[in-house]
Structure formats: C-alpha cells, structure tokens
Structure 1
Amino acid sequence: MKFFYARLLLLAAIVLLSVPAWAQFSATGTVLDQQSRQPLVGAVVLVPGQTMSVATDEQGHFALSAATEFRAVRVQLLGYQPQEVPLKGPGLPLNITLKPSNTGLSEVQVIGYGTGTERKLLETPAALSIVTEPELQRNNPVFLQNTLNQVPGVRMNVRSAASQSNLVIRGIGGTYGRFGIRGIKLYQNGIPLSEADGTTSLDDLDYTTLGRIEVIKGPASTIYGATLGGVVSFQTRKATPGTSLQLGTTVGKYGLFRTNTGIGVGTDKVNLLVNYGHQETQGFRDAHGNSRKDYVTVAGDFYVSDKQTVSVLGTYTNVHDNFAGELDSTDYFTSYTKTAPAYVSKDIGVDAEVTRLGLTHTYRFTGNFANTTSLFTTNSYSLSPVEPNFAHIQRGKRGVRSVFTYAPQLGSVPVRLALGTEYLANQDNNKRYAISAVGVSGAITSDQEVKSTQTNTFVQAEASVTTHTTLTAGVSYNVVSYDIQDLIPKTAPAQSLTGYRQFKPTYTPRVAVLHTFNDQVAVFAQYSTGFSPPISNQISLSSGPINPDVKPETNENFEIGSRGRVLRNSIDYDVTLFRMRVQNGLVAQTSGGITSFVNSGESQYQGLELALSGNLVPTEAAGELRQLRPFVRYSYTDAEFKSYKLGTNDFSGRQVTGSFRNLFTGGLDVDTRVGAYLNLTAQYTDHTPMSDNNARYAAAYWLLNSKIGVRNKLFGHLGYDVFAGLDNMSDVRYVASVALNQATPVGKPTFYNPGLPRNWYAGANLNYTF
C-alpha cells in the first residue's frame, strides 16, 4: 500500500511540474473600424512584450494563444492607431474598434462612398480624400476652413467671423453663392444636410463634434443625385470604449470662447455621444462682427443584434450673427478692419434656430443581402435684415433614403449590387419686408410658399473580374420640381409669381475601372456625369411667372488616378488628373432694374490633385519620437469660360470667376511618446479673378499656422489634451471671401471680405473614462 501511495504522489508531482509546458492562455475577439463598424482584415493582434501574434480573418476575428499568462492584447494595422486592450475575463471575447490615423490612409475604410459594402480607400475608383480625427485635431477646431483647405482641390471660404461659409470643389460649388453652397451635396452620418433645391448652409454644423470627413471630388457618384462638383460626408465623432465625461474649452484672440460638455458611452451594444457646445467671438472688425452659437448634438448607434443596427442623429443650433460686410478697394488697403457703415446702421446679420432629426435602420437579411433606410426631417426659422429687404424665412424638410445591397458570387466572379432611392421635399415660407435705414422691417414686399422636391433612384454594380481588377457601372434617374405660390394678390395675373415647373428627368451614368498591384498600389479611371438644378429664386422671374427656359447645369467628368504606398511603404501618395466640362452655366442678367438668370455657354475645368505624406519614424522604433510626418498637398485647376456671352460682353477664354489655379499646403507633424506634439502648416492660395471680365484679381497669399500641445492619459482613466496655437503667424492681409461681380454707381465695387490677422488660441480637452 505504501508503494502505491508513493507512486501516486510521484505521478502528481510530475503532472504539476509539467503544467507550464503545456498550459495555454488565450484570447478571442473581433477587430472593427470605429467609424464604419466593418471588420478589419489583417490586423495584427499580439501579446505586449512577446513575439506571439496572429492576424484577423475576413470577418475580423482572431484567436490568440500563449504559453504564459497575459492580461492585455495589442492591436495594430496600417492606417489605424494601435490600441492596447485589457482582457475581459476567461472565455469572454473582445470587441475592439480602431481609429484611423493620419498615415497609411490607403488602408482605411471608406464610409460615405459606400453602398453598404465598405471598401478600403485603395480599392475605391474615385478621387476621394479622407480627413481623419488626427487631421481635425491638428488645427483650431472652431474654424473648419483650416482643415478642409488642406484637401487637394477643395476651398472653403468664410464671409464673416464664424458663418456664411461656402465650399468650392475643383472650382465648382460656392463660386457665385455669397451666402451658401450649391452644386455640392453634403451629408452628416448619412443624413442629407442639403435642401431639395440643391442649396446647403454649414452655419448650423458643430465642427468640434466631427470625427471624420470624406470628400468625393467631381460628379463621381451615381448614388447621391443632384451633384455638380462633388459630395462631402461628415461623420460625428464616436465615443471611446467605456462611459466617459468630456469637457473642453478653447479661448483666443478677438473674444474667441468655446466650451464643450459631453457624455460618451461605448460598449459592444451601443455607441452614444451627447454634447452641448457654446461658442462666441467678437471678430476682428471694428464693430458688428460678433457671433454667438449654441449647439446640442445627440448621435448614437445601437447594435440591436448581429442583424440589426439602429442609428439616431439629433442636432439643435441657435445662431446670432452680426455681419461686418464687404469693403471696397480703398478701405481694404487702408482700413483693413473697417466695418461697412450700412451693415451697422441696419444691423445686418441673422438670428436662426435649426433642428435636425434622423433615424437610420440597417438590417442584414443574410451575410450578403442588407438594407439601410434613413428617415429625416429639418426645421429652421431665421430673421435676417439683409439688403434690400428684411427676410423672415421658415424652412421645413423631410425625406427618406433607402439602399438595398446584395453581394452574390456569379460563378467565379464576386459581384456587389446596390439599388436605392433618395427623396427630399422642402416647404419654405419666405416673407420679405421693406427695410428702414436702421434695420426695422416695414411693409411686406414678398410672400411666397415654395415647395421643392428632388428624387434620385439609382442602381450600381461592381464586379471583381480578376483578383486585382474591379469594374463599376451605375446610373441614376433624377427628377426635380418646384411649386411656387405667390400669397400677395396682384392687380394683373401676369405679375403673379405663382407657378409650377418640373425639369426634364436627368440620367447620370458612371463607369469606372480599378486595378491594384500587390495590395500596395492602385490605378483607376472613370467617366461620370452630374447636374445641378437652378434654385428657387433662379427660376422665378420678378416680373411674373416661372422662367420656362432656364435649364439645370450639367457636368461631364473624366479622370485617371493612382494611390498607394511606395519606397518600402514609407510614403503615401494620391494623384488624380481630371477634366470636366460644365454646360448651361447659370449667370445673372439685369435689365431695367430686374435680375433674371439665364444659361450661358460652357466652361472647362482640368487639372491635377496631389497628396504626399509619410512617417519618417519606423513603427518598431524605440526612441522618444513616435511620429515625424511631413506632408504636401497640391492642386492645379485650369478653369476657363469656353463659351460665355452676357449681353454685349463676350467672356470666352477668361478664367472662371472665383477659381484658383494653384493651391498648396505643406506641413510637419511631430509626436512624441510622452505625448508632446507640434503641428506646422503653410498654405498658399493663388490669386483669383473677382469679375467675369478678369479685370480685377484678389491677390495671392501665404498663411503660416502652428499648434503645440501635450496629450496623454493619467491613472488609466483621465485623458487630457492641453494646447496652444498661432494662426497667420506672419500677419498677412488677405481676402478670405470674395463677393464676385460687384458694381456700384460710384465705381468702387465692394469685393473684399478681409481674413483674420495674426491670432492666438489655447485650450484643454479632458476625457474621464469610468
């Protein structure tokens, strides 16, 4: 018996001593793109301090085992910020989301261009630029133009301190619009910001809550309807994992003051951001340039099940802006900060409230068949004493967007199909009153109810004809209509502005081909078309009924391009050559004191867009530097009136008014492992013609901006970012926005909206995760 017990004890000892040799510790989970929630393929998952690693599969899944115990995993993927995630507990899978970085963007997934089948930027056959959260953070977040103007081919102009923005892509968009954007479609979290008549205002969008922007340049998509110059898709910032309290303050010269108070919830089942922001600035003009805004943003994704996701977007904005007005050439060059006297005496500006609500439901019937449907509504009311009248405008918009996607395998060829529709309907009540010398409204002069609708039905197909080659073809069918009711009785029927106009349905086809080389370099070519309908006040004849002759502007676009990583994956590049032909351009004609719009001839836009960047610090480097990233963005646009006659004037062969031939941005980002960072930016804007005859130009200029700060985390819970910046370091005088084709009886046209002189800002953002 003793012998038996001895053998038993010996066997137990051998088993216990051998446990480390065969015991395995493991972790499983899924890695997703934080913005799109799509699986990331090829992400490397490893144990910190060990060599053991695995890569995620096509569903983003991983299973990692190690011989020694570990309490966290590190996940890294080119184009995304690496993340270290603690284990939840034995047997509990991890759900890991990665944020895009500002390097390796070819590997980042595209959201706004997708039809439910998100792709990497490298695999997208279009001139498309992605602005990630690190890009947004490298500038003063209050002024979005500092970021968007770094995108090749894009120009954002701001007419007053913090409002009246317009947007130009490849010379198209806000060129003739002093108070808004047309010809470019804008979205927030998949919800249209644009109105049914094709106009958009950015003044109610809270830039500080953005986490990502995607810019499609040219009429490159059949799935968005009425677009002439492109599409801009804004994405609200996603909450970080856990429950967090977010506080932020920015102060600066000229009375700049901005606060943010937010709550974020990030779990496997919900991602929710609730934020209140208050913003004000006095502006740098002598008087009447102040702006005050209050924002409320609620954005959430609720992952009901593996098949269903419900997303909500709710925003409320209260705006009070005073405008300082344009200057003539004498005042601009001698009294740069002067305010236009009439803007003060008449208290010209705007008071507005805007509310947006959107609900999106995504249902995945099977692994390759899904539907995404959005319902949305917007209501706004504004009071605006603007020459020559006092405007009371109430706007209401409602609509639906629904897209079915199907990804079958036809023999050996993977195919992706998208079929969808978008419907927008506006009902606007526009009342205008006479305005007194001190800005008081008088007798009513105009009372119109304008109903506008826009319907876009589209189909798009993609086929991977080889492992590396994809063909895309699509077409959209577009219908735009206006119903205008003149609510002021007229003595003669011919003077009534009442009328109805439905434009002839427009088809906009698109064909593209893309080929990738070794998953590092891609080339593409595409042909696409677009259109932009006249807005409501462009089809109305002030002398009577709706103009039956005015037509939508149309655009034919051809482009070739390439993007990827070269020189041993150290340099990211993106280059596009394009040529666009715009026909039936809308221009204003004035006769007998009455202004009307006519289609005039053809314009041609051709050019080059280039982006280069790279991190000079290898990923595996162990020094103090984490990033040393130089970058260059350049665009050349030759925009020319090919056929443009206005009365007795022939402007054919002239540069398109308000266009820029050369735009350049260069910069350097330095980031250290202790959290200290430095951002340097130099921007060049070429001179631009201010009138159709090219007799006057706004001068070219350079802007030099800088930002320093430190961001890190304390005690594992408190994240902080303390920063300071100096914009327009050389204190140059420049035109931030040009009022085109201005004329006055005394011969001093008021073209000039001066840009900000040298100005500083500083602030701090805190994020405490519970």
Structure 2
Amino acid sequence: MHIRTLALFPLAALPALLHAQTNPAPPESDGGSLAPVVITGSGSAEQRWRGAATVDVVDGTELRAGQLQINLSEGLARVPGLVIRNRENYAQDLQVSIRGFGARSTFGVRGVRLFVDGIPASAPDGSGQAANFPLGSADRIEVVRGPFAALYGASSGGAILAYTQNGTRPGELRVGAALGANGLWRLSTQATGQTGTAEAPGWSYTLDVGKFATDGARPQSAAHRSTANAKLSRAHDGGRTTLVFNRQSAFALDPQGLSRTQLDAGTPLTTPQAIQFNTRKSVSQTQAGLAWDQALGNGHKVELMGYAGQRRVIQFQSIPPGVQGAAGSSGGVIDLDRDYWGFNARWRLQREWQGGQLDLSAGLAGERQTDLRRGYENFVGGTVGVRGTLRREETNQATTLDPYVRASWQKADWTLEGGLRRVNARYASSDAFLTNGDQSGGVSFNGYLPVVGVRWQLAPQLQAFASTGRGLETPTLNEAAYRSDGGAGLNTDLNASRSTSTEIGLRGRNAAGLWNATLFDIRTRDEIVSAGTIDGRATFTNGGSTKRQGLELSAEYGMGNVTLTGAYTYLRARYGSGTASIPAGNRMPGLPEHQFFSQLAWAPAFASGIGGVFTLEARHTGSVFANDANNRTTALAESHTLFGIGARFEQTTGAWTWREFVRIDNLTDKKHAGSVIVNDGNSRFFESGLGRSVSAGVELTRHF
C-alpha cells in the first residue's frame, strides 16, 4: 500500500517540464520523464515530506493491484479532496473535481489540469480528458491540491499527474487480461528495459499497448478503446533526452442522462431519445513530445520541452430536428478537428546559500490549440441519427504565453517557497458559415497568480504547513462559444473566475504509517455557471461569488500483516452572492458535503513462493445536487455507501510470475446515482451507478 499524503517540493510554474532532482542522482534513477510545474525529483517520500504543498501519491503497483486497469477512478478513491466518478458512459469520460474545482463539467474535465509524463492531457482552454492515462505502465499518479496547484497555470484548481515507469535492467515483459460485468474485457501488454550494457547503458524504453471493450451497463452504452504509449530516454554528459508518444482511438455509444423518475424505476434504463438518435461519439488522438536538459556548471541548468498532437472528435447528439430549425442552431452533430502544440524553456539554479538549499528558476511556457469545428444537422428528411446539412463551420484558437518565476529555500527544520505566474490567454474565432450569424470574435484573459508557502518541523515526525495563493479559471472555448442572450459571436461578457485559496495543516509519520489533516478555505468571484440552453446551444454566465471550506483527513497504518487505509473529506461549498437564478446560500452542484473511503487489507502467510492479499472496502458519498437551483424533487442524488471485497494472489516460478485477482463491487447491490450531469437542459441529471458486479484478471510477468 503506497499512498502517501505528503508535500510535493514545488519548483517551477509551468505546464510541462523536465524531470529534475534537488540532489542529482545517477541518470537511470529519473528516467528523464517530463514533469510539469512542480518537479518531483526522485519521487522519494523524504523530498515531498520537506515541502509546503499538499500532494497524494498513489504508487503504480497499488494502482493496478486487483483492478481492471481501465478507469482512473479505480485507484484514486482514497485521495481526500478528490471527487472522481465513473459515469458508466464512455462517451463523456470521468467526472473529476478537486476541492470543488471542475464540478460543473457535464463531459470531460474542467478546472483540473491533467498531465501524462509531463505532456498536458488538458488543452490550453482548460478542457481535458483522463482516458489516455496509461494505467498499465504507470509508475505513480500524483494528485496536487491547494494553492500551489495554481502554478500549473489557468484552470488549475488541482492537478493529476501520471508518470510512466522507466526502463531498467533487467527488462520486464507483462501480459494481462481482465473480465468484468456487462461483457467488459481488457487485454494489455507492457515492456520495459534498457539497451546497451550495464557498463555502457543505451536507451531506456517503456512500451504499453492495450484494448478494452464493454457492452455497457445500460442500453446504448457499448464502447471500445485502443491505446499505445511509448517512452524513450537516454542520458548524456550532464543531462538527458526523452521522447514520448501516445496514440488513442475510441468509440462509444451515449446512453445520456436519466430523469429522477427514470432513475427511481430501478432497472437500468436509457432515455428513448438516445436510442432514437443513436447517440454516439468517436475519438482519435496522436501526440508526441521531446524533452532535453543540460547542466551548465556551478548549479545552473537549462531545460527545454516541446510537444504537438492532433485530436479528432465526431459526436451525434439527440437534439430534436424542430429545435435545429432556429437560425442560430449549430445542428446536432459535432465534428471537431484539433491541432495543438506547446513548449517550455526554463533556467534553473540550485546551490547552498545562507545555510540552506536555494532553488531558483524562471522561464516561459506557451501553448496553442486550433479547432476546426463543424456542426451538422442530425437528420436527413425523416431519418434521424445521421449526418445532414452543414450548420456551423468555424476555426477556434486558444493561445497561452505565460512567464513564471519561483524560489525555494529549504533547511532541515523549515522550508519557505513561493512562485509567480503571469497568465496570458487569448481566444479567437473565425466564422466561415455566416447564415446563422457571424460567430467571429476574440477575447483575452490574464492575471497574476502568486503563491507562497511554509513548512515548520515541530518534531522529528511531526510538521505543520501553510500556503496561500490566487487562481484563475478561464472558460473553455465551448463555454465561451455562445452569448447568453442568444446573439451571435463569442461571449465576450463571460469573465474568468478568480479565486483566493488558503490551507493549513499537520502531517505526521512513524514506523507504522502516516497521517495528514488539512483545513482549507477558497473564495471565488465570477464563478462560471450555466445560463441555460438556447436553440440547443449551452450558454454560460458569471454567477457571483462562492465560498468553499473544508477538512481533509487521511491515514495509512500497518499492523503486522494488516494495513488500514482511510480518507475523509468535508466540503461546504455555497454560493455567496446570489443571482436572479441562483439564491445566495445554495449548494454548488456536483459536490457531496461528505466523502469517505476505508480499506482493510490482510496479507496472511502462505506457502513458500505464494503471496496473497484480501481486501474489504467501504466508500461513502454524501448527497449531491445536480443543478444550481437545488431542486430536491428532481435534482437531488441521495447519499449512499458501497462495499467491495477482493482477493489477489501471486506465484513465482523461475523467471515467471503469475498474478490473479477477483473482486466484487457494490456487494449489497445498492441502487444509486453513480454521477450527475450538472445543470442538464432537459433535466436528465442522473447516470445510474453499477449494481453488484464481479471482475477478475490475470497477469504474467517475465524478466529478461
């Protein structure tokens, strides 16, 4: 069990940079992985223990142990402050929020930055997806919370960072398969290793390919996805070069949300419109990145990184033909072709100064996405669910160019650190289809994001920490696409949401385990909220101020062959100043006030060469409102507690190792809303959670 609620040593405010260490280790120890904003160095517990930021680290082995290895939500329930739910709808990705940031998203991820080996899985406008996280080859996943998350740039209320394994000697080959409920299956292969010899090592490599498919928990919810990830790195005199590559293709039917009446029916249902229009989504994405770092002597270092990619999305919606007759309608079929790229350039200085370790850096980070966006009617004559007449054609761009600086001074008993990032974001739209009004226009968002933090060592195994900073969340291109009054053109009246975040806490450790307790307070103004749907177009506005206050507790302790892990989150999220449609004091939608996870793991003694672990889990989620109006009759998902049991085994014979698992989730077959669709225009707010389900898998490993 390797979850660690620890402090991550923040180094630079940029969205993706190179892997580095306070005390340089042999080149093979870091694998040259790209690292964004906050650099984790060797990833050691000691280094994170000595920082001021709040980070949970889930080890890759624990992330995979006894899991299907399909969804990021499988292994992160133990992270406090994080809401991550599987919608059981692969057309809409996971529902993810950190301390309330990102809760309004009806699809994909908003307000939380995602990275895989340092390359953003979030676009410059803040939208992202977690589907391309390579769980099979993950070395660790880090969840960053609190004020220091703002150093990742705009729309960074939190950050989730995945780092893949580094190739070492001897090499390793893994082949795995898993089966689950509703016809779900997964096949995957991972290979890691290093060319050359021990005396003269060459390239370190990590390869990960996999595919999964499911018939779906509800009608119209079948899906399949194929992924391929590769990382190559090689040390040179005083530095390292790293190359990364990712390819993903996916197809999913979309069962859409359910009304309160449909959810209460008990039987897994799908809204008739989803079947009538054959709602569906296909995605393909390819991206690559290159990183290079070089020591210059006397503690100086330069780090450079660049990446580029292409993403294609085609989605068929269930918008009625009658609605699409309006002059401003963009149709019921989305056709998106995106090109994107980004870079980082950073200078860094590390040296002893005034009896402590000084770490100073400055640099420039830039990103651009260019979206060719077309909209078509989803009908031809009386036939629906097919591509019809063109109704929208425009080119959207989002560009960021952010300079940053940070400094840290660390001594044995305390650490003082801070940073400043200047956000410069520009959106532009060029309309080539003027029949429904000229959608052309431009808008800019900018601001300074300062953050400062301190750590005090109160005792050898006890420390206090505190930090404060400002954040800025920009609307996505999709949210800024339409004016809230129904007029044509970008919504230039929609402002970025600005926040001030403060946290203070204690953390401790001993030979048996560790614990963490954090209090936080977040005040925002110009919160981005739904302004309703006009002619089938979702519009947004600013909803005044909000206040989020909460407590996060987590602990892990081992007692002989038993390990107990627990996490609890209390989050009071309220609208402060009301609007015409949102009364002051209403709860923010999509957020439970209480969330709890506990796991008891027992590893009894087995015969020589055999190992095993048995687990019992409980997950509690408090009630959640699905709309800003807090309607209790039609938009409230009640609290629920789910139990799960699992067993996994391991046997080694010569060079071969077998691992097997079996688990039962939702042991009591509790009927519940697995997730909510915030402010859905048709009041279909709910996605039903999975009932009692059994899954099993096997993995074969060989070293070479």
Q: Do these two structures clear the TM 0.5 threshold for a shared fold by scoring above it? A: yes
Aligned to 2:626: 690
Letter in 1 for 2:693: N
Q: Deviations over 1:162-211 (max 9, x none)?
A: 45234444443332211111111111111111101111022333333322
Aligned to 1:86: none
Give yes or no for the alignment of 1:707 onto 2:632.
no
Separation of aligned partners in 2, 1:519 and 1:271: 38
Task: Tell me if structure 1 keeps the 8 A contact 2:20–2:30.
Answer: no
Separation of aligned partners in 1, 2:30 and 2:352: 30
Q: 1:570 aligns with which of 508, 512, 516?
A: 512
User: SS where residue 241 of structure 1 aligns?
Assistant: coil
The structure-2 alpha-carbon separation of the partners of 1:644 and 1:180, relative to structure 1 and needing over 3 Å to count, comes to farther
Q: Deviations over 1:725-754 (max 9, x none)?
A: 11111111111121223354xxxx311101
Letter in 1 for 2:146: G
Aligned to 1:188: 116
User: SS where residue 479 of structure 2 aligns?
Assistant: helix
Aligned to 1:54: none
Separation of aligned partners in 1, 2:30 and 2:612: 22
Q: Deviations over 1:317-343 (max 9, x none)?
A: 110111112112222122431122111
The structure-2 alpha-carbon separation of the partners of 1:511 and 1:719, relative to structure 1 and needing over 3 Å to count, comes to same
User: SS where residue 236 of structure 2 aligns?
Assistant: coil
Alpha-carbon offset, residue 550 of structure 1: 1.7
Separation of aligned partners in 1, 2:28 and 2:376: 57
Give yes or no for the alignment of 1:414 onto 2:357.
yes
- In terms of mean alpha carbon deviation, does 654-663 or 213-222 score higher? 213-222
Alpha-carbon offset, residue 230 of structure 1: 0.9
Aligned to 1:289: 221
The structure-2 alpha-carbon separation of the partners of 1:632 and 1:115, relative to structure 1 and needing over 3 Å to count, comes to closer
Separation of aligned partners in 1, 2:563 and 2:28: 27
Q: Structure 2: any 5+ residue segments left out of the alignment?
A: 1-17, 320-331
Separation of aligned partners in 2, 1:724 and 1:147: 15
Letter in 2 for 1:400: F
Aligned to 1:522: 463
User: SS where residue 441 of structure 1 aligns?
Assistant: coil
Q: Deviations over 1:690-715 (max 9, x none)?
A: 22122221011111122212124321
Task: Tell me if structure 1 keeps the 8 A contact 2:19–2:30.
Answer: no
Aligned to 1:272: 205
Aligned to 1:224: 152
Give yes or no for the alignment of 1:127 onto 2:58.
no
The structure-2 alpha-carbon separation of the partners of 1:709 and 1:469, relative to structure 1 and needing over 3 Å to count, comes to same
Q: 1:368 aligns with which of 288, 299, 302?
A: 299
Separation of aligned partners in 2, 1:356 and 1:172: 30
Q: 1:470 aligns with which of 415, 436, 445?
A: 415
Separation of aligned partners in 2, 1:315 and 1:194: 14
Give yes or no for the alignment of 1:737 onto 2:679.
no
User: SS where residue 537 of structure 1 aligns?
Assistant: coil
Aligned to 1:84: none
Separation of aligned partners in 1, 2:169 and 2:653: 16
Task: Tell me if structure 2 keeps the 8 A contact 1:345–1:439.
Answer: yes
Give yes or no for the alignment of 1:405 onto 2:348.
yes
Aligned to 1:206: 134
Q: TM-score normalized by structure 1?
A: 0.80
Separation of aligned partners in 2, 1:288 and 1:591: 24
Q: Structure 1: any 5+ residue segments left out of the alignment?
A: 1-35, 41-57, 62-94, 100-109, 618-626
Separation of aligned partners in 1, 2:595 and 2:302: 40
Letter in 2 for 1:213: I
Letter in 2 for 1:242: P
Q: Deviations over 1:292-313 (max 9, x none)?
A: 11111112222234x1211121
Aligned to 1:438: 384
Give yes or no for the alignment of 1:629 onto 2:563.
yes
Task: Tell me if structure 1 keeps the 8 A contact 2:95–2:107.
Answer: no
Aligned to 2:492: 548
User: SS where residue 536 of structure 1 aligns?
Assistant: coil
Q: TM-score normalized by structure 2?
A: 0.87
The structure-2 alpha-carbon separation of the partners of 1:709 and 1:591, relative to structure 1 and needing over 3 Å to count, comes to closer
Aligned to 1:23: none
Aligned to 1:681: 617
Alpha-carbon offset, residue 592 of structure 1: 6.8
Separation of aligned partners in 2, 1:367 and 1:670: 50
Give yes or no for the alignment of 1:234 onto 2:156.
no
The structure-2 alpha-carbon separation of the partners of 1:596 and 1:262, relative to structure 1 and needing over 3 Å to count, comes to closer
Letter in 2 for 1:488: F
Aligned to 1:557: 501
Give yes or no for the alignment of 1:113 onto 2:32.
no
Task: Tell me if structure 2 keeps the 8 A contact 1:196–1:425.
Answer: yes
Q: Deviations over 1:96-146 (max 9, x none)?
A: 9699xxxxxxxxxx9973276977221121121111123302433223213
User: SS where residue 597 of structure 1 aligns?
Assistant: strand
The structure-2 alpha-carbon separation of the partners of 1:547 and 1:382, relative to structure 1 and needing over 3 Å to count, comes to closer
Letter in 1 for 2:642: L
Task: Tell me if structure 2 keeps the 8 A contact 1:161–1:281.
Answer: no
Task: Tell me if structure 1 keeps the 8 A contact 2:626–2:685.
Answer: yes
Task: Tell me if structure 1 keeps the 8 A contact 2:68–2:697.
Answer: no
The structure-2 alpha-carbon separation of the partners of 1:262 and 1:132, relative to structure 1 and needing over 3 Å to count, comes to closer
Task: Tell me if structure 1 keeps the 8 A contact 2:442–2:492.
Answer: no
Matches within 5 A, 1:33-72: none
Alpha-carbon offset, residue 363 of structure 1: 1.5
Give yes or no for the alignment of 1:653 onto 2:585.
yes
Aligned to 1:755: 689
Alpha-carbon offset, residue 39 of structure 1: 7.8
Letter in 1 for 2:586: R
Task: Tell me if structure 2 keeps the 8 A contact 1:125–1:512.
Answer: yes
Task: Tell me if structure 2 keeps the 8 A contact 1:634–1:663.
Answer: yes
User: SS where residue 675 of structure 1 aligns?
Assistant: strand
Q: Deviations over 1:429-454 (max 9, x none)?
A: 11000112531111111111001101
Matches within 5 A, 1:336-375: 336-366=267-297, 368-375=299-306
Aligned to 1:456: 402
The structure-2 alpha-carbon separation of the partners of 1:194 and 1:98, relative to structure 1 and needing over 3 Å to count, comes to closer
Q: 1:317 aligns with which of 234, 248, 251?
A: 248
Q: Deviations over 1:559-588 (max 9, x none)?
A: 00122214xx32310111100011101122
Aligned to 1:581: 523
Task: Tell me if structure 1 keeps the 8 A contact 2:100–2:573.
Answer: no
Separation of aligned partners in 2, 1:98 and 1:574: 27
Task: Tell me if structure 1 keeps the 8 A contact 2:114–2:130.
Answer: no
Question: Which of the pair has more CA radius of gyration?
Answer: 1
The structure-2 alpha-carbon separation of the partners of 1:112 and 1:132, relative to structure 1 and needing over 3 Å to count, comes to farther
Task: Tell me if structure 2 keeps the 8 A contact 1:220–1:529.
Answer: no
User: SS where residue 509 of structure 1 aligns?
Assistant: strand
Alpha-carbon offset, residue 241 of structure 1: 3.1
Matches within 5 A, 1:141-160: 141-160=69-88
Aligned to 2:11: none
Letter in 2 for 1:511: V
Letter in 2 for 1:713: T
The structure-2 alpha-carbon separation of the partners of 1:725 and 1:166, relative to structure 1 and needing over 3 Å to count, comes to closer
Letter in 1 for 2:558: N
Q: How many residues align?
A: 650
Letter in 2 for 1:233: L
Separation of aligned partners in 2, 1:600 and 1:59: 48
Alpha-carbon offset, residue 282 of structure 1: 0.8
User: SS where residue 262 of structure 2 aligns?
Assistant: helix
- In terms of mean alpha carbon deviation, does 668-677 or 377-386 score higher? 668-677
Q: 1:393 aligns with which of 333, 336, 359?
A: 336
Aligned to 1:726: 664
Alpha-carbon offset, residue 240 of structure 1: 5.3
Separation of aligned partners in 2, 1:198 and 1:712: 44
User: SS where residue 658 of structure 1 aligns?
Assistant: coil
> What percentage of aligned pairs have identical amino acids?
22
Separation of aligned partners in 2, 1:190 and 1:478: 19
